[in-house]
Chains A and B, each alone.
Chain A
Amino acid sequence: MELRSYIIRRLLFLIPVLFGVTIFIFGITMLFSPIERASLYVTDARQMTNIPQLIETYGLDQPFWVQYGNWISEVFSGNLGWSRVVGMPVGDAIWAFLPATLELSIFATPIIILMGIFLGTKAAAHKDRPLDHGTRVMAIFGWSLPTFWLGLILMMVFYGYFTGLLPPSRLSIPMELVVNSASFIRYTHINTIDAILNLKGAVFLDALRHLILPVITLSVTQVAFIMRLMRSSMLESLGKGYILTARAKGLSERVVVNKHARRNALIPVITVAGYVFAGMVNGVVITETIFTYKGLGWWAWQSAVRLDIASVLGFALFNSVLFVLVNLVVDILYTRVDPRVRLGGVMQ
């Protein structure tokens, strides 16, 4: 199938998905009182003083379907509600916090995927030998560490014990001033990239320094996960007939493993790698909160504890769109790795 029509078809698929997701989430918000829900419809701070009128206008005491219809038509006109936590519309808040989280993902995702694939390949090639046992222990350790605990321990050591070595948040205060100054052009709002584009080495290093701990915290569990998946996928592929053929050709073990086995073993890992990326953008809640790294996860957490329904709803909506998009990218990547797969999922 042609790539463009495939993409269009898949994007149309977003409509039923979002319909389901919104009904589900909106259904849950019905558990709250109309007063609490009024913030969903606010577009600026002044309106917050006039809650009863909002309840009246939007029919917050009306039946579910009427309310859902009202809300969805608001969403379509671009109004996602008011985020009390940061005092701006939810749509703007998502745009404001997305770059920070993207920055985290940009650094963590390659580490997770490349390390996971590399270690998984090694473990499979050395099955039942010391290297395999070693990585297995590492994986069990990494997988069972609670994220918040690991984050706190890392911070205790690298911020507390080595005073201020690797601090929380996104930038130190002087660098924050540089970044917000008029001469610093914020192309992407991703600090490291903007620093490079503005040729500000100090900002770059400072941003990097703040990224190290959250990236490690995020990566540990995920590397363990990808590594184990890659290992079992590699073992399956190493047992296949074409591996014997490759060895009978006289190829070295390195080529057999890295060329003939790995390409096949990557196929299932690609799916999961896509979800790791998507999951990271929303699953950073704990990590960002611990390191007061102000990204989407931090915002979602703050909104959740303050019962900021509009923000939570917006966050959920954003996530569903992201998942569908990542799914699409994964499907397209599939066709690049596995010639048997055609767009549209016909398998021979």
Chain B
Amino acid sequence: MGNLIRIRDLTVRFYTYEGVVHAIDDLDLDIRQGETLGIVGETGSGKTMTALAILRLIPYPGRIESGSIVFFDRDLHSEIELLKLSEDKMRSIRGNKISMVFQEPGAALNPVYTIGDQISEVFLLHQRRELGKRANKQVDRLLRDGDGLAASIKRPFWHWQKRLYNKIAQESNPFEPRFLSHVPLFRRLLWRLKNESKLLTVDMLKDVEIPDAARVAVHYPHELSGGMKQRAVIAMALACSPELLIADEPTTSLDVTIQAQMLELFRRIKVEKGASVLFITHNLGVASEVCDRVAVMYAGSLCEVASVEELFLHPSHPYTKALLDSVPMPGKELQTIPGALADPLNPPSGCRFHPRCPSATPVCQQEKAKLKEISKDHMVACHLF
């Protein structure tokens, strides 16, 4: 299958008072259609920044220095260079074609709006046409079935609503509804859009296995458990059936039992929705459970990419090996990686891993290794290969 995202030479830097932080260095990575790609690496290795770079949401004072991120739009059958897109176009992709689930469900939800409000916001933003169509059907039903005095009074308004919803369903950003939405009283003509978005929201919440979805929709975030909040956040991300779902350590802050349910949910999403998933985790065990392929990152650089079986059976990069050795397993002595994580303000020259690498050679200090394919679909960036 083809690629959904192709990242080349991505470099992200933070310009802080202490100096320039090299968050990501010359990263090359592909995400294929329909796959779940895992990114593993220690805290601070640049996993989150890779994800945020795809959405072009690197926080200040960070900047995407160079590189290219190409997105293959399935609907338009065309390639889009995300880094060159206008901010308006980029906004129509965020939350719509590429969406993201963050690490802390507690922090990711706005405490002063209900779960339902926050999810329907996505529908109202990206699915106006669909909402217009559905509202139109409602009005049609009323026009057909409505009788009696009340209906004959309301009939002119229904016709007006029908015209408005028709416009919304057919044109992008039509004038009349846009104008009316700013006029008090008249903006109520558009209430059916909101109503439809609420119905879709409840469906979405049911989809991520939230019991009693209609009731949960009117709850505020603080009234839900961590697992429920994360499900709500996932529902928000899945609302527009994105082509890429980015999940940044979605289970890290949850209890172990909830974690297992959440991984099950991600497996199901992939099968049912056909979305590609970029699954970020620092836990190799979790990665092996949900991912098809895994990319290993160290200090802002990519070390190794391979399918899950290949990576676990034939780890090739010294850092991957060290990482696998440090996974606690029964009956095995736990190995820790000697030395400390590279300082992002002053990264080591050449291969970022050389101060800690047991197989380092003199060339490793001077030159960074390019990503090489050592066997089919198995890429390693190391001078040993």
Contacts and interface: CB of A to CB of B under 8 A. Distances in A.
Interface string B107-145: 111111100000001100110000000000000000000
A247 interface: yes
A338 B96 CA distance: 29
B113 to A, nearest CB: 8
A251 interface: yes
Interface stretch (A15-23, A160-168, A238-246): A238-246
A69 B122 CA distance: 66
Nearest to A249: B95
Given A340-B220, A340-B222, A248 B109 contact: no
Contacts, number: 70
Query: Taking chain A's interface residues, is the majority helix, strand, or loop, or is none over half, making it mixed?
Result: helix
B99 to A, nearest CB: 7
Contacts of B109: 242, 245
B104 interface: yes
A348 interface: yes
A174 interface: no
Contact of B91 (A250, A260, A337): A250
Nearest to A338: B112
Contacts of A240: 107
A260 B94 contact: no
A250 B109 CA distance: 15
B135 to A, nearest CB: 21
A263 B99 CA distance: 24
B111 A340 contact: yes
Given A242-B111, A264-B112, A340-B111, A248 B222 contact: no
B112 A263 contact: yes
B102 A250 contact: no
A78 interface: no
Contacts of A348: 222
Given A249-B121, A251-B125, A348-B222, A241 B236 contact: no
Nearest to B59: A244
A252 interface: yes
B112 A248 contact: no
Given A245-B233, A264-B112, A340-B220, A250 B107 contact: no
Contacts of B57: 244, 247-248
A307 B91 CA distance: 67
Q: Which of A240, A246, A251, A339 has the most CB atoms of chain B within a 10 A radius of its CB? A: A339
B202 interface: no
B92 interface: yes
* Interface size of A as a range: 20 to 34
B93 interface: yes
Nearest to B99: A248
A343 to B, nearest CB: 16
Given A244-B57, A245-B233, A264 B125 contact: no
Contacts of B96: 250
A251 B110 CA distance: 14
A252 B87 CA distance: 9
B229 to A, nearest CB: 11
Nearest to A267: B112
Given A241-B104, A251-B125, A339-B222, A246 B110 contact: yes
B91 A241 contact: no
A267 to B, nearest CB: 8
30 contacts: A241-B104, A242-B108, A242-B110, A244-B57, A244-B102, A244-B108, A245-B108, A245-B109, A245-B110, A247-B94, A248-B57, A248-B100, A248-B102, A249-B94, A249-B95, A249-B125, A249-B236, A250-B91, A250-B92, A250-B125, A251-B95, A251-B121, A260-B113, A263-B112, A264-B111, A264-B112, A338-B111, A339-B111, A339-B222, A348-B222
Interface of A: 240-242, 244-252, 260, 263-264, 337-340, 348
Given A246-B110, A250-B126, A251-B125, 13 more contacts: A242-B111, A245-B236, A247-B94, A248-B94, A248-B100, A249-B94, A249-B121, A249-B236, A250-B122, A250-B125, A260-B113, A264-B111, A340-B111
Q: Which 6 A-B pairs have the closest CB atoms?
A: A241-B107, A249-B95, A250-B94, A250-B95, A242-B110, A339-B220
